[in-house]
Structure 1
Amino acid sequence: MDRQLLFMPPNDHLSTGSFITLCVLFLTSAVLVALGLRRRSRSGGRGQQSSSSRRGLSVQVTDRAVAHRALVQHSAAFLDRPTGAVPSTILTRSRHHNIHSAPYGPYWRAVRRNVSAVALHPSRLRLLRGARARVLGDLVRELRAGSGAAPASETLHFAVYHVLAEMCFGRDVVAEVIGEARLRAMHGFQREILLALPSFGVLLKYPMVLGKLLYPSRWKQLVALRRHQEETFLPLVAEVARKRRRKVDDSDDLLFKSYVESLLDVRVHEEDGDSRAVTDGELVSLISEFLGTGTESTATALEWTMARLIKHPEVQQKLRDEVDSIIASSPGAGGGGVVQEEDLPRMPYLRAVVLESLRRHPPVPFVLRHVEGGHEDDDAARVLGVPRLPDHGGGATVNFRVGKINRDPAAWSDPDAFKPERFMPGGEAETVDLTCTRELRMMPFGAGRRVCPGIATAMLHLEYLVANLVREFEWKEPHGEEEVDLTESRGFFMTVMKRPLRAKVVPRNAAQ
């Protein structure tokens, strides 16, 4: 009888009630199906289990000794990241991973080895010195053309993005195929994605099927952003492949291999013995990560460093004195050249300024790991100092709080102050190790086996740009409401300035 009522030609009131009943039944069925799929995924493997960690135990780590034991000394127990922490894994259904989100395994090892040993190898970085010089020239001209309080944040970010784009696609593709206008549009789209990411966080709270039903507009936006990435990057990959085939044996271009070229050579050796190439979906994710994370982390650190130099004019002047001394002593510079990359190792105060900025304002505020529970020999639980990790609910998510670790009063005197001198010879942090292999006192690039592979690249770009920006300009405080504000604001995965940097940049006297 009840089933017949649903299909009778009822009055208006009964029709409304029937519609509500159908909606309730539909949503209930969706929840049950989603939960069933969720339970099934927990038994499917390491990658799927990590996505369920948001309902498991959450551990916050602020002790640097515990962080060193976990990430370095017992790294085997802390190799996986919670894939659900990256919104793009919802859209790609955890299949098209980048290096950051990939579970530990054959794919991660292959793409991680490629970016470390090929794309970011020091020998290849040296071949890009021309690109860095061109971008520096463009950056200086753009800042000189500004008047009053220049929007330094956007200018600095685009300069870093330009360098990363040439590393990713090669100079010819950037100059001949993309062009400056399209490159700026690509950078703008990248920033649009970063600004939109926090709004997608709600999708992480529910299984994918239910998330699509509850937040259809946000799901459509996420799908549209991903489609735009594919439509942008895949034709550029095809262009890189075509140019690669046309290279001649005696071409200088053969000496340089772009990141995309290196990805086309990657072979993933699966555990079953099969070998495969990187898929189109994985290519899009890896390129987006290289351009997005590589740009935002370095550019954010550059922005913080210049802001600190504005707020501490005595530090800026001391750094400028070192820069001028190096320029004057460089053969053939005549006192009017730029700081060359080979000069950087002779500038200890420059490195101290960059390190202190990274300590005080690490771009990435946390490092996340996923660990499984329920083991008899629970190494992770012992390291974290908890009795035992749960064997249900997806294990545990461990959040290593980078900012708090970097400002641990037990490791640093006056930890909240900005004191580059602490990194100078004889200072308390003279021998600090950015890889954290020996000791963990600060970890702006993470630590252990999953430490950021771009440490050397980021430090080179930061030191080169900071030195030459101080050489070319005096960086001063804007007046009025545009005064530099050092208040931190937490983005989705970056610690940015609450108000983007604007600065009064005054070109220095050419005779200096």
Structure 2
Amino acid sequence: MAWLAMALCFWFYPGGPAWGKYNWLTKRAATKPSYTIPGPRGLPIVGSMNLMVHLAHHKLSAAAKSFGAKRLMAFSLGDTRVIITCNPDVAKEILNSSVFSDRPVKESAYSLMFNRAIGFAPYGVYWRTLRRIAATHLFCPKQISSTEAQRLDIASQMVSIIACRRGEFFVRDILKKASLNNMMCSVFGTNYQLGSPNTETEQLSQLVEEGYDLLGKLNWSDHLPWLAGLDIQKIRLRCSKLVPRVNKFVNKIIQEHKLQSGNTNRDFVDVLLSLNGPDRLSDNDMIAVLWEMIFRGTDTVAVLIEWILARMVLHPEIQSRVQAELDEVVGKSRPLMESDVESMVYLPAVVKEVLRMHPPGPLLSWARLAIKDTTVDGYHVPAGTTAMVNMWAITRDPDVWVDPVKFMPERFVSKDSTDVEFSVLGSDLRLSPFGSGRRSCPGKTLGLATVTFWVGTLLHEFKWVPSDENSPVDLGEVLRLSCEMANPLKVKVHPRL
């Protein structure tokens, strides 16, 4: 009865039981009531876990509006204190702060070895070493430029496969295979043909899909420690079966690279093996880093391209304008090259507008963790609090964007607009789909270059039309690790060249 009474006292506090527990036990409730962050109470003990299932970005945005807490809202996930913002200024305050330089504990991420890769490694010397390696060796302009021929070859293979399709077809499978092959070539130096079945590619695809499912789930044990030993959702069991398969797959490739001498192909494995001194990684750390590169690099590219093509089918007049720009810059007698994209204005504007309306990580995928007490937007935020940014809500806020629900690439092109030179790489938190600050996505430049070039190629080669005039494109969403189209895009194409 005493435990139940305490649970109800904690639950009664704004923000729910986790915030009530902190404030009552530290007596902040009595001393500084003006510091209370508004937010839903949820349910006793479990808090607002219901907000994090299905389309969490929609539910969290609606909750913030109902509590008048768009700038900052508090809620509880079991014993976890969480704050979330739907405001670009507060988002910048969180993401660019050294206080929020860590990741919250996520059992599936640690089980899948991501605590030894850039994504979830604790903030410190090791993480800074990984970040320096990524910036200097893996995602530097020289390395990105060296893989241009590979991206061109995969784009040509996609064109050949699509050209052979008669009638309607689903584009998702082609995009996922292309994206996976691109990452396998960049990371492992293995080059496979898209149209040819391959055991190694299929095996890696299964590993990645299983990893997506595990990492995208809301794990109750992360927020209710007394459930941890039960493993009700079988996440720990599934991780324990997946990791040995990943270790075996990646370690085999590392050992093969070690045996090769005089290899002129500089893939990510070669780069990591060539490092010396403090940058040298152990084989186990190398496996974690390479696995994360494949894992994170495959999903976002395919998801974003599918959203772009869906918008092109829904807006044929915008598709025609992109194709007119392509014809003007490239002509119809040769394929698009990456250097051509630099001369284009409207195609990058279309990519930015799709990132605005359909950010692949609407909650910026992975949250931040406060490593010490701090102040956010005037409110006290204690150490150990998880901080999230609802980028989807920011990009659809009428106080931030004109006609936010209207698909309008012209907003990034018009001379009268202040957003012509708009960067999506993290400097402006009105649209920062790859995050910002210390924990932003290290591969964002490579990912954006790949998406823009492949989309340009597909629009240059084909006119994209609905599979059936009576069944329009469905823009319904499903949120896994990324926000995907709930129903895969089905289209028809007409050759243009």
Q: TM-score, normalised by structure 2?
A: 0.78
Counterparts of 1:200 and 1:398 in 2: how far apart (Å)? 16
- Partner SS state of residue 77, structure 1: helix
CA distances 1:87-134 after superposition (whole Å, capped 9, x unpaired): 131455x8x522111121111111111112211111121111221121
Q: 2:168 aligns with which of 149, 169, 172?
A: 149
Counterparts of 2:471 and 2:255 in 1: how far apart (Å)? 44
Alignment match, 1:242: 259
- In the TM superposition, what is the alpha-carbon distance from 1:169 to its structure 2 partner? 1.1
Alignment match, 2:149: 130
Determine if contact 1:482/1:502 at 8 Å carries over to the other structure: no
Alignment match, 1:408: 397
Counterparts of 2:399 and 2:177 in 1: how far apart (Å)? 38
Alignment match, 2:237: 220
Alignment match, 1:32: none
Counterparts of 1:467 and 1:257 in 2: how far apart (Å)? 27
- Partner SS state of residue 404, structure 2: coil
CA distances 1:392-416 after superposition (whole Å, capped 9, x unpaired): xxx2101111111222222210011
Q: Does 1:63 align with 2:87?
A: yes
CA distances 1:362-389 after superposition (whole Å, capped 9, x unpaired): 111113110044x4xx3xx2x3431x23
* Identity score, percent: 27
Give the aligned residue type for 2:437: G
Give the aligned residue type for 1:164: M
Counterparts of 2:168 and 2:88 in 1: how far apart (Å)? 40
**For 1:251-400, what aligned pairs fall within 5 Å after superposition?**
253=264, 257-266=266-275, 269=278, 277-328=280-331, 335-367=332-364, 368-373=367-372, 375=373, 378=374, 381=375, 383-386=376-379, 388-390=380-382, 395-400=384-389
Structure showing greater relative contact order (alpha-carbon pairs closer than 8 Å, 6 or more residues apart): 1
Counterparts of 1:409 and 1:132 in 2: how far apart (Å)? 38
Determine if contact 2:426/2:434 at 8 Å carries over to the other structure: no
Q: CA RMSD in A?
A: 2.6
Structure 2 residue runs without a partner (length 5+) = 1-75
Give the aligned residue type for 2:330: I
Counterparts of 1:292 and 1:145 in 2: how far apart (Å)? 30
- Partner SS state of residue 336, structure 1: coil
User: Which region of structure 1 is more displaced relative to structure 2, 149-158 or 306-315?
Assistant: 149-158
Counterparts of 2:178 and 2:129 in 1: how far apart (Å)? 30
- In the TM superposition, what is the alpha-carbon distance from 1:205 to its structure 2 partner? 3.8
- In the TM superposition, what is the alpha-carbon distance from 1:480 to its structure 2 partner? 7.4
Counterparts of 2:215 and 2:298 in 1: how far apart (Å)? 16
Alignment match, 2:7: none
Alignment match, 2:201: 183
Alignment match, 2:212: 194
- Partner SS state of residue 83, structure 1: coil
Alignment match, 1:161: 180
CA distances 1:452-497 after superposition (whole Å, capped 9, x unpaired): 1222211211111111101111111112786421112111x21111
Q: How many residues are matched?
A: 417
CA distances 1:154-187 after superposition (whole Å, capped 9, x unpaired): 1111111111111101246x68xx9844223322
Q: 2:426 aligns with which of 415, 428, 436?
A: 436
Counterparts of 1:461 and 1:116 in 2: how far apart (Å)? 18
**Structure with higher helix content:** 1
Counterparts of 1:219 and 1:481 in 2: how far apart (Å)? 45
Q: Does 1:97 align with 2:116?
A: yes
- In the TM superposition, what is the alpha-carbon distance from 1:507 to its structure 2 partner? 2.0
Give the aligned residue type for 2:157: D
- Partner SS state of residue 269, structure 2: helix
Rg comparison, structure with higher value: 1
Counterparts of 1:128 and 1:66 in 2: how far apart (Å)? 38
